[in-house]
Structure 1
Amino acid sequence: MTYKSIIFIALLMTLFSCKPQITKEEVRPKAKNVILLIADGTGLSQVSSAFYFKKTRPNYARFKSIGLIRTSSAREDITDSAAGATAFSTGQKTYNGAVGVAVDSTKLKTLIEILSPQHVKTGLIATSAIQHATPASFYAHVLNRGQYEDIALDLVTSDVDFLAGGGRHFLNKRKDGKNLLEELKVNGFEVDTTALGSFTEIKKHSKIAYLLAEEHMNAVSKDRGDFLSNATELGIKFLNKDPAKSSFFMMVEGSQIDWGGHDNDADYLISELIDFDDAVGKALDFAEKDGNTLVIVTADHETGGFTLASTPKKKEDGTAYNDYKEITGTFSTKGHSATLIPVFAFGPGSESFSGIYENTEIFHKIFELTSWKKEN
């Protein structure tokens, strides 16, 4: 037998002795619940401020999956909150000012309208009026975000299960004379206009609406207290009170970070951002214990062109210099900017939020990572 023949036989024996490798495609678990936290007006510099000014470790530091979104609206390079939130709630771009409607003014189905018939519990929390652009975009359909009384009409007939925020006077001090607080009760809501209750007090109700301010909630610097984090914790408990029968979706907005940016008020902005970070902590604490909850933290846009700059100072001789040992929040605009916005995710499928993509993908990724259906 020749040398070449021996080599050939040896290779042949090796080939047939090898067992075929059967690879199983890993099936990723689906998220049962989704908590979407929106820090209105927050770009990377706003998030960074928590790492310099919060006295404890920021909850933002707990995320491992981080991506970026482009936030331009359908007609403008720079979005507003209405178009930005509508992109999240419907998966479609629209024009600035539009709430739950397309560019052609037709109604778009929102997350809440899609999920409620699927026995998914839903909740909305904001430090603004609950009829303000961001929360409204999850249940209302109006051509212009300023139509607060029309938005309130949509709220009354919506399928939201848990509400917490301001906006009473759009319900009971209306031009048409209607008292929509009473209509909320007729439509199944337990209404409280005084303070957040305890879970023990409210768990027997099917729907709860906390409307705790005539228009917007106070700023955290003006004695709002721990409303946002407490409402987040209470909302989770209420929506998850019967986990064997239903899952839940909840949107939490830190509304006034944006207002600090518009005012070019760094102290206002940073205090609201830190307050929002506390609410993020409540969502992450639940998600870590639960194991079935996807937490997404992002923003609709950036406001103020905010920068953490070195503090400008002067020497004794009057020469100006930048003190790199001290930070001052500075601004480049009173409006919004077009900067990319960070997205932080935790829980089942969180790695899918890495990369750079359009803001509408938040909507689509939620459905990809849950068993919920986009159409009903």
Structure 2
Amino acid sequence: MVKAISFALLSLATAVSAVAALDPAGQFKRLGACPTLGCVFPPDNAEFLAGSNFDVRVEVHAEDDAKPNTKYSLTIEKLKGSQKSNKHGKAKAVDFSKWTKVKASAQESWDFSYTKDASAYWKYLDGDKNARTSVHVASTAWRKVHISEPGTYKVVLKYNDGKKTEAIWTVNPVQKRKAKNVILFIGDGMTSAMITAARLISKPHTSGKYTKHMQMDQFPVLGHVMTHSLDSLITDSANSASAYNTGHKSSAGALGVYPDSSASPFDDPKQELLAELLRRRSKKNGGAGGVGIVTTAEVQDATPAAVYAHTRNRDEKATIVNQMIRGPNPVVADVILGGGGKYFHAKTGGKSLNGTDYYAAYSKERGYKVVNDRSSLLKYKGKDPLLGIFHAGNMDVWLDRNVYKANIKGATDPTGTGKTALDQPNLDEMVLKGLEVLDKRHRKEGWFLMAEAASVDKMMHPLDYDRALADLLELDSTIGKTKEWLKRNKLDKDTLILVTADHAHSFDVYGSVDTQYFNSFSDSEELEKKNSIGTYENSGWPSYVDSNGDGFPDKWDVRYTLAAGTAAFPTHREDFQVSINGTRVPAVATTTSHHHWTIYDANPDFDVHGINKPATMSRNESVGVHSLQDVPVFASGPGSNLFAGIQDNTEIFHKIAEVLGLGEQK
């Protein structure tokens, strides 16, 4: 029997390897995950949860003056299990429409263009319109497909008189529910090196050993997450957060879809979201659960929008607001807290879809209680769904909300009054209020809450490390208060808590800086300024102290700071000191370039007395960019053991789905 099973598994592995192809090398693509002229979405190596819904699209391409052959077919076969066999005992390929009982759309056609390599790309940006290659497309889609029976399936697109594109799909079984609730904390852009730096500036230590630890340090399970996107080494927040919410890879800028080549940002093949699955969970599995979304960014921003939106373009923020309550299958979350007020109204500075008052729409159409400041949030004790929008854009960062308050200014009121949003809540206040509402509405059925510390990433981009680390510490403090709240409310044994990031930045600490010595030299004495950086045995402890034990340094403008930086940055100046007057702007556009694209140089108004650091990447980048490194995932509670070790970002979805008992199967 063992030999028979081993032979079957070997045969399946051989069949899979025969279909699978390595990702092609290169930087520019005609269409992500489509190296040939025949495209299948979902592509090869996709994984599904049994019973989850998804769309399928095929495209046949022809370049330049050629026309696509419109005669093509799609078949599916199960490589093992209940699929009917032919007389030779092998699985039988069946027409996709017949097998799924889903009618294909009418065949569509369109054109698009792309640049084949770096040479063509930069020529095009410099004005050569002929540098792009034109593509003509024939396409068919199948909407709302589902596969209820777990197993491995082969899908084959036959096109152009004998050519094939094959994809292996894996359908995972539904598991017995392990937890009632899941909290997913996301430190956007957070890495292990950032956590190490945050610990260093916030926790006491004696003889080189910490006497207190961060909340994340105390989680019993630690794993690592690989963050590559569908078609690139380096991911953005949209498709990485989508992986957590769908179990599928995607491309930069995409939310809950596989990007196709059509012009519309809303017709791409969709993947069913974790929140959508939770909303339609069967009674036998516990009934439809609650959904909460908390962020310090705009609630339409990539990471929160990945919980409820479907679009190829994360910047379609006005429509994303509409999708929450009026989409084809709206999530209608129980709790939505964060920034992004300008997309809810059409008053001064408003950008709402078709001028709609979405505060009124959310209230009248879906029964939301709407609050727009910290005081109203904390006063709310009701059971109605809660919409709290506290800033016109992204909420101000912790360091400015709590220390350098003079930096909070401008027409940032979320309702369009033109005033400044001075009464903004902290992350812990939003999370705890969100938990209160979810508990009142769904204690019996359970719930899922995504809470994001967004400005860890948003401050790493402009190289404002102090503000990024402060927001990381706010996340850590929030985690501790959340654990206390769960214990008080007797929910700790029923709740899985995860802490992770959607992607990385190449930040690290390589020493310490004596800023007093640094500042004693003139701007021209860069060699002497650099001598203020201590490495190895001279990398002494920084001066940050947390005397009141609140988890944050008492002072941020101290003598001994961290020598820290990233591997990818624009030309800028660095003085290793907190930017007291607001977020750093490291580089600004220059007018001296003969190129048609924008080139950035060091900002003359920031870190004026710092040392010069020439760019390590293309000069058309104005801020730092994401990096390749794995990100940590901390886990505590029922099912936490699943998250140990190295895992792909898509596995986070499947493991959460397993813990919550999501999906349906025959």
Shared fold (TM-score, shorter chain, > 0.5): yes
User: Which position in structure 2 is the counterpart of 1:51?
Assistant: 199
Q: Which moved more, 1:327-336 or 1:337-346?
A: 327-336
Query: 2: distance between equivalents of 1:143 and 1:62?
Result: 38
Structure 1, unmatched stretches of 5+, are 1-26
Q: Structure 2 residue aligned with 1:324, among 516, 535, 539?
A: 539
Give yes or no for contact 1:67–1:353 (8 Å, CA) kept in 2: yes
Instruction: Assess, with a 3 A threshold, how the Cα gap between structure 1 residues 165 and 244 changes in structure 2: closer, same or farther.
Output: closer
Aligned-pair distance for 1:245? 2.7
The equivalent residue for 1:8 is none
Shift of 1:287: 4.4
* Shift in CA distance, 363/29, structure 1 to aligned 2, threshold 3 Å: closer
| Aligned CA distance change for structure 1 residues 374 and 77 (closer, same or farther; 3 Å) | farther
Residues 216 and 356 of structure 1: CA distance in aligned 2, closer, same or farther (over 3 Å): same
Matched to 2:237, the amino acid is S
**Pair 1:293–1:138, CA change in 2 (3 A):** same
SS state at 1:46 partner: helix
Please provide the CA RMSD for this pair.
2.5
- Bigger Cα Rg: 2
State the match for 1:191 in structure 2.
Answer: 370
CA contact (8 A) 1:196 1:231 kept: no
Structure 2 unaligned spans of 5+: 1-174, 204-211, 261-267, 282-287, 403-423, 521-526, 542-561, 569-623
Aligned to 1:19: none
The alpha-carbon deviation at position 199 of structure 1 amounts to 6.9
d(CA) in 2 for partners of 1:231, 1:141? 25
Aligned residue type for 2:453: G
Q: Deviations over 1:52-95 (max 9, x none)?
A: 11246311121010000100000111000001000001110000
Other-structure match for 2:401: 223
- Which residue pairs with 2:269 in the alignment? 106
Percent identical = 30
Identify the residue that residue 504 of structure 2 maps to in structure 1.
302
Question: What whole-Å deviation, never above 9, does each CA across 1:129-153 have from its counterpart, x for those lacking one?
Answer: 0000000011011111111111111
Maintained 8 Å contact 2:383/2:440: no
- Which residue identity does 1:75 align to in structure 2? D
CA distance in 2, matches of 1:162, 1:261: 28
Q: What secondary structure is seen at the aligned counterpart in 2 of 1:250?
A: strand
Q: Report the alpha carbon displacement of residue 226 of structure 1 after superposing the two structures with TM.
A: 5.4
Q: For the residues of structure 1 that align with 2:321 and 2:443, how far apart are their CA atoms?
A: 32
Cα distance in 1 for residues equivalent to 2:315 and 2:343? 11
Aligned mates of 1:340, 1:248 — CA distance in 2? 28
Deviation at 1:200, TM superposition (A): 7.0
Q: Which residue of 1 aligns with 2:339?
A: 166
For 1:34 and 1:231, the matched residues in 2 are separated by: 17
Q: Distance in 2 between matches of 1:374 and 1:134?
A: 27
- Tell me the residue number matched to 1:268: 467
Measure how far apart 1:117 and its partner are. 2.3
Greater shift after overlay, 76-85 or 242-251?
242-251
Q: Aligned-pair distance for 1:286?
A: 3.8
Which stretch has the larger CA shift, 361-370 or 281-290? Answer: 281-290
Between 177-186 and 250-259, the greater mean CA deviation after superposition: 177-186
**Paired residue for 1:15?**
none
State the Cα deviation string for residues 237-292 of structure 1 (Å, max 9, x = none): 21012555320100000000001210111111111110111121133224454211
- Alpha-carbon spacing, 1:360–1:74, altered in 2? closer, same or farther (3 Å): same
Instruction: Tell me whether 1:149 sits opposite 2:327 in the alignment.
Output: no
Q: Which amino acid aligns with 1:35?
A: I
Q: Which of 208, 227, 247 is residue 386 of structure 2 equivalent to?
A: 208
1:234 to 1:374, Cα distance in 2 relative to 1, 3 A: farther
Q: Which residue of 1 aligns with 2:179?
A: 31
SS at match of 1:45: helix
Contact in 2 for aligned 1:232/1:282 (Cα 8 Å): no
1:42 paired with 2:173, answer: no
Query: Comparing both chains, which one has the higher relative contact order based on Cα–Cα distances under 8 Å and sequence gaps of 6 or more?
Result: 1
Q: For 2:627, which of 337, 356, 361 is the aligned residue?
A: 337
Counterpart for residue 446 of structure 2: 247
In the alignment, does 2:651 pair up with 1:348? no
Q: 1:86 to 1:244 in 2, by over 3 A?
A: closer
- Aligned pair count reads 348
> Which of 49, 58, 65 is the matching residue for 2:221?
65
Q: Deviations along 1:322-345, whole A, 9 cap, x unmatched?
A: 232143322212100010110000
CA deviations on 1:192-223 (whole Å, 9 max, x unpaired) are: 12236467733232x11001111111111111
Partner AA of 1:151 in structure 2? I
Change (3 A) 1:64 1:193: same
> Contact between 1:29 and 1:348, CA under 8 Å: does it hold in 2?
no
In the alignment, structure 1 residue 371 sits paired with structure 2 residue 661? yes
**Helix, strand or coil for the counterpart of 1:102?**
coil
**Counterpart of 1:325 in 2: which secondary structure?**
coil
Name the counterpart of 1:20. none
- Preserved CA contact (<8 Å) 1:38 1:254: yes
Decide which structure has greater helix share: 1
Q: Which range moves more in the overlay, 223-232 or 182-191?
A: 223-232
1:81 corresponds to 2:232 = no
Structure 2 counterpart of 1:232 = 431
1:277 paired to 2:476: yes
* Superposition TM-score, scaled by structure 1 size: 0.86
Which one is further off, 236-245 or 256-265? Answer: 236-245
Q: Which amino acid aligns with 1:248?
A: W
Instruction: Tell me the residue number matched to 1:11.
Output: none
TM-score normalized with structure 2 length:
0.50
Tell me, yes or no, if the aligned pair for 2:185 and 2:498 is still in contact at 8 Å: yes
Conserved 8 A contact 2:297-2:455: yes
Assess if the C-alpha contact under 8 Å between 1:287 and 1:294 holds in 2. Answer: no
* Equivalent AA in structure 2 for residue 336 of structure 1: H
| Between 240-249 and 81-90, the greater mean CA deviation after superposition | 240-249
> Equivalent residue of 2:435, what SS?
helix
